[in-house]
Amino acid sequence: MDIAAGLVAAGHRALVVSSGGRLVGEIERADATHFTQPVHSKNPIQMVKNALWLAKLVRSEHIDILHARSRAPAWSAYWASQLADCAFMTTFHAAYNSKVRPRNSIIA
């Protein structure tokens, strides 16, 4: 939500893909576009379907960067970025401590 709002405030377009939930209204009020897709799924078949769907979205919407915040969506976004030749990044949503290795990120 914060990243989408920040991008829009800076004059960029923000497209958010999630399985839905309480923040969808806030995303839309921030003038970001929301797509509902079961990206939370850890089912390998659904993750591949998500990657293919995301790659198609990247191409059709001319997306420059895919950003993910949790594991299952990160894998789907990573694969989509490879298919669509798009930059990919992750962040994780836990307090960072140099002694704690993040478990919600993949680095490629």
Domain spans of the chain, in order of start: 1-36, 40-108
Q: What pLDDT is stored for residue 97 in this prediction?
A: 56
Task: Decide if 13 contacts 7 (C-beta within 8 A).
Answer: yes
Q: Tell me, what's the pLDDT at 93?
A: 67
CA distance linking residue 100 with residue 108, whole number of Å: 19
User: What are 5's two structure tokens?
Assistant: 């709002």
Pairing of strands 65-68, 15-18: unpaired
Condensed to tens digits (0 to 9), the pLDDT of residues 4-54 reads 999 999 999 999 999 999 999 999 999 999 999 999 999 999 999 999 999
Please provide residue 35's backbone torsions phi and psi, each rounded to the nearest 5 degrees: -120, 130
Per-chain mean pLDDT for the chain: 88
Question: What is the pLDDT, as a whole number, of residue 99?
Answer: 57
Residue 102 has pLDDT above 60, yes or no: no
Of the two residues 101 and 37, the one the predictor is more confident about is 37
pLDDT at 104 over 60: no
Q: Which pLDDT value is given to residue 105?
A: 42
Q: Are strands 15-18 and 33-36 parallel, antiparallel or unpaired?
A: parallel
Of 58, 106, 104, 98, the C-alpha closest to 81 is 58
> For 57-66, 75-84, 88-97, which range has the lowest pLDDT when averaged over its residues?
88-97
d(CA 53, CA 35): 11
Q: Taking the complete model, does pTM exceed 0.85, yes or no?
A: no
